[in-house]
């Protein structure tokens, strides 16, 4: 019989197409049923199930290669998925490689959106679930705790998570650069389109104090406002009350500009040192270009936001090798220590 | 080992310079500045500067404000005092960098021009403690205005980065525009209050000894106080945009520094001079 093995088995966005991931996802009660299957699996001493929209992964400590295969069979049986087909997509790693993979997942290096931090919370939640129910033992405890530390180190020591990489998040980041905090800020959404809605949601998720939605068709504004927990008003009225807002997100379908230099200039005269952020996501543009030259007005259009997102994305990519080197060194050290834990379990 | 007050002040300037170098290296490498390292360098510099100025004050029997060298040293000391309080409260590591810059420039400049410390006014305060209070308050307000100028510089840099849409690099470490504007407003109120109090003390308690006060000095200090007070009034009435406020803060601080020279010149005519470069006695 071979010795204890630390393994990772799973399917991730790197190798598995979306339509296959949909079939493999442990949705609803399937996750709980899968855990029950694994708990009763002979030779499987510890396990953690990480199930997100981009990956289904099983981290475990088993009696040997046969245990990993048993997990594989149990998963395919549960998902009614062909075992041979799964083997063509699946990622199967053991030992130091498995540790390195976990560290890279927790650090956001393996994410579809490089450097995103949501995965860190998902890995933590998966581990907490396993630990609270007694599925994770001393080996996985050490490995996961060290993985969390490594992920934090990578965030601190590299710029892998710095800068936003989506247009909506860049707009929010800009607002934070201007206002510091969004709680006291008043946001106006001009237009009820999809991109405007996404940006409005991004502002709300970062704590924007008040949001109003304005559209030429008040019923559309009201419909969107209801979903966002905002107030609705007619476009003309909103433009007349422009001075009350700190951030204006423009995404109307108007063929001509909605905000002109003269009216914004008049608004700014009454605002003294209070700045105004105009995010123009409309095509054709909703705000006259010269508005951006006014003191205290910060005007960003779709191209500006996309360029910043692209620069941030490239800056993150440039940090990958540095981040990977940090994680590799940590994974090797951790694996050395984890081996003694595995030996003790055997 | 005997260390003179000037040597302590050189040591202080060295630490301020170290803070400046540390910050510059971090900026050039595009990294976030180490708050602990910069704050530590400034704090050590401040400690040595305080000790050096205390030695000089003890030797001269009062606030060391007897020549241009001492005026620059005390202004830098005041600005640093305030940074050590304000910088921690607002978690402004970039302000630390600029404070180190201001302190290093002012202290090194004053130490580097021996003529500024060649002579100093003797019996400066005429034995009247209120005159000393006036001088101390006025100098401290200049330190506050120095910090206001730094905050304004940060505001202008932030404004420029937002306007030019270049947000990466070291600009990403700057505080938000609104935060900088709020800090600037509070610093201006504090500075005007301190200078107002200093001028009030001067008018009340120094009035009797007015014979010794030069017109140039009265005009210069009152002019500076009035200019800052007008700026505060305009800001309170919403007449100043953020950028104008920042520009004015910078211009007025340069003018305020220039008045120190005027104050020093007018004083040398008022009171007898003694040999400067006072060493630990």
Supply the pTM of this predicted model. 0.73
Structure confidence at residue B277 (pLDDT): 56
For residue A174, what is the nearest residue in chain B, using CA coordinates?
Answer: B162
The answer to whether the CB atoms of A180 and B179 lie below 8 A apart is: yes
Sign for the CA dihedral angle at A165, A168, A174, A178 comes to negative
Same domain assignment for residues A208 and A245:
yes
Structure confidence at residue A272 (pLDDT): 78
| A314 inside domain | no
| A205 inside domain | yes
Structure confidence at residue A58 (pLDDT): 97
Quick check: A175 and A277 in contact, CB under 8 A? yes
Structure confidence at residue B281 (pLDDT): 37
Which one is predicted more confidently, B212 or A230?
A230
CA atoms within 13 A on the CB side of B40: 6
Same domain assignment for residues A36 and A129:
yes
Residue B223 CA from chain centroid, whole number: 18
Structural domain count of chain A: 2
Same domain assignment for residues A174 and A137:
no
> What is the residue range of A50's domain?
5-160+319-345
Structure confidence at residue B72 (pLDDT): 87
Same domain assignment for residues A275 and A195:
yes
The alpha-carbon gap from A293 to the nearest alpha carbon of chain B, in Å, equals 8
Listed range (A43-57, B144-158, B199-213) with the worst mean pLDDT: B199-213
Same domain assignment for residues A154 and A21:
yes
The answer to whether the CB atoms of A178 and B178 lie below 8 A apart is: yes
The alpha-carbon gap from A249 to the nearest alpha carbon of chain B, in Å, equals 17
| A116 inside domain | yes
Q: Whole-number mean pLDDT of chain B? A: 81
- The DSSP annotation for B2-61 comes to ---HHHHHHHHHHHHHHHHHHHHHHHHTT----HHHHHHHHHHHHHHHHHHHHHHHHHHT
Which one is predicted more confidently, A68 or B67?
A68
Quick check: B208 and B154 in contact, CB under 8 A? no
The answer to whether the CB atoms of A178 and B179 lie below 8 A apart is: no
| A89 inside domain | yes
| A40 inside domain | yes
Same domain assignment for residues A229 and A301:
yes
The answer to whether the CB atoms of A311 and B178 lie below 8 A apart is: no
Q: pLDDT tens digits for chain A (346 residues)?
A: 457 899 999 999 988 988 888 889 888 788 999 999 999 999 999 999 999 888 999 999 999 899 999 999 999 999 999 999 999 999 999 999 999 999 999 999 998 888 888 899 999 999 999 999 999 999 999 999 999 999 999 988 888 887 787 888 899 999 999 998 899 999 999 998 888 888 899 999 999 989 999 998 899 999 999 999 999 999 999 999 999 999 999 999 888 999 999 999 999 988 878 999 999 998 889 999 999 999 999 999 989 998 998 888 888 888 999 999 999 999 999 999 888 878 776 6
Q: Is the ipTM here above 0.90? A: no
| A65 inside domain | yes
Give yes or no for a cis peptide into B190 (omega within 30° of 0): no
The alpha-carbon gap from B125 to the nearest alpha carbon of chain A, in Å, equals 42
Confidence of residue B266 (pLDDT cuts 50, 70, 90): low
Token code pair at residue B25: 């290296």
The answer to whether the CB atoms of B243 and A296 lie below 8 A apart is: yes
Same domain assignment for residues A59 and A130:
yes
| A215 inside domain | yes
Q: Where exactly are the structural domains of chain B?
A: 5-275
Same domain assignment for residues A293 and A217:
yes
Same domain assignment for residues A198 and A331:
no
Same domain assignment for residues A153 and A14:
yes
Listed range (A126-135, B209-218, B230-239) with the worst mean pLDDT: B209-218
Token code pair at residue B115: 């003529």
User: Where in the sequence numbering do the catalytic residues of A fall?
Assistant: 53
Structure confidence at residue B267 (pLDDT): 62
Same domain assignment for residues A238 and A119:
no
Confidence of residue B92 (pLDDT cuts 50, 70, 90): low
Asked whether residue B62 carries a pLDDT value surpassing 50, the answer given is yes
Tell me the average pLDDT across B235-253.
93
CATH number of the domain that A67 lies in?
A: 3.30.460.30
CATH number of the domain that A271 lies in?
A: 3.40.50.720
Same domain assignment for residues A49 and A146:
yes
| A272 inside domain | yes
- The DSSP annotation for A213-276 comes to EEESSHHHHHHHHHHHT-EEEEHHHHHHTGGG-SEEEE----SS-SB-HHHHHHHHHTTTT--E
Under an 8 Å CB criterion, which residues of A touch B?
A: 159, 162-163, 173-174, 176-180, 268, 270, 272-275, 292, 295-296, 298, 300, 304, 307-308, 311-312, 315
């Amino acid at each position: 019989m071979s010795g204890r093995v630390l393994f990772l088995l799973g399917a991730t966005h790197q190798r598995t197409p979306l339509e296959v991931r949909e079939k493999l996802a442990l949705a609803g009660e399937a996750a709980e049923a899968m855990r029950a299957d694994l708990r009763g699996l002979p030779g499987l001493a510890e396990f953690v199930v990480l199930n997100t929209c981009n990956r289904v992964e099983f981290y475990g400590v088993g009696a040997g290669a046969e245990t990993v295969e048993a997990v594989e069979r149990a998963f395919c049986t549960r998902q009614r998925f062909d075992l041979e087909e799964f083997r063509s997509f699946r990622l199967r790693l053991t030992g130091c490689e498995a540790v390195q993979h976990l560290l890279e997942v927790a650090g956001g290096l393996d994410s579809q959106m490089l450097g995103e931090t949501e995965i860190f919370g998902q890995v933590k939640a998966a581990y907490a679930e396993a630990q609270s129910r007694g599925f994770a033992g001393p080996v996985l405890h050490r490995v996961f705790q060290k993985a969390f530390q490594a992920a934090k180190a990578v965030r601190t020591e590299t710029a892998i998570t710095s800068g936003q990489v989506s247009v909506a998040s860049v707009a929010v980041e800009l607002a934070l650069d201007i206002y510091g905090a969004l709680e006291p800020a008043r946001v106006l959404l001009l237009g009820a389109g999809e991109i405007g809605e996404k940006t409005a949601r991004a502002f709300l998720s970062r704590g924007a104090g008040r949001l109003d939605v304005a559209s030429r068709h008040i019923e559309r504004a009201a419909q969107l406002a209801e979903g966002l927990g905002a107030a609705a008003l007619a476009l003309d009225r909103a433009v007349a009350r422009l001075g009350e807002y700190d951030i204006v997100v423009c995404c109307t379908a108007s063929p001509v500009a909605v905000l002109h230099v003269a009216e914004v200039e008049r608004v700014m005269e009454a605002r003294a040192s209070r700045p105004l952020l105009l995010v123009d996501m409309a095509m054709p543009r909703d705000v006259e270009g010269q508005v951006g030259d006014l003191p205290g007005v910060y005007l960003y259009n779709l191209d500006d936001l996309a360029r910043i997102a692209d620069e941030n994305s490239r800056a993150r990519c440039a940090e990958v090798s540095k981040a990977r080197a940090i994680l590799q060194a940590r994974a090797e050290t951790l694996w050395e220590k984890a081996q003694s834990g595995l030996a003790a379990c055997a | 080992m005997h260390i003179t007050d000037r040597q302590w002040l050189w040591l202080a300037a060295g630490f301020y310079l170290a803070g400046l170098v540390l910050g510059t290296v971090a900026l050039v490498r595009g990294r976030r500045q180490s708050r602990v390292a910069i704050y530590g360098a400034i704090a050590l510099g401040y400690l040595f500067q305080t000790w050096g100025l205390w030695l000089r004050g003890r030797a001269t029997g009062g606030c060391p404000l007897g020549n241009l060298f001492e005026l620059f040293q005390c202004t830098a000391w005041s600005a640093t005092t305030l940074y050590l309080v304000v910088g921690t409260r607002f978690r402004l590591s970039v302000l630390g960098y600029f404070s180190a810059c201001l302190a290093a420039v002012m202290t090194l400049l004053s130490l580097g021009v021996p003529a500024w410390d060649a002579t100093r006014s003797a019996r400066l305060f005429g034995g009247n403690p209120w005159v000393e209070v006036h001088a101390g308050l006025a100098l401290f307000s200049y330190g506050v205005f120095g910090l206001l100028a730094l905050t304004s510089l940060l505001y202008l840099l932030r404004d420029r980065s937002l306007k030019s849409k270049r947000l990466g690099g070291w600009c990403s470490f700057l505080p938000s525009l609104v935060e900088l504007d709020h800090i600037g407003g509070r610093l201006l109120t504090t500075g005007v209050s301190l200078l107002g109090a200093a001028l009030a003390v001067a008018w009340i308690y120094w009035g009797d000894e007015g014979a010794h006060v030069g017109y140039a000095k009265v005009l210069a200090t009152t002019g500076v106080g009035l200019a800052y007070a007008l700026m505060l009034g305009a800001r309170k009435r919403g007449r100043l945009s953020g950028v104008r406020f920042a520009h004015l803060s910078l211009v007025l601080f340069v003018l305020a520094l220039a008045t120190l020279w005027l104050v020093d010149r007018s004083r040398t005519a008022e009171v007898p001079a003694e040999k400067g470069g006072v060493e630990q006695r």
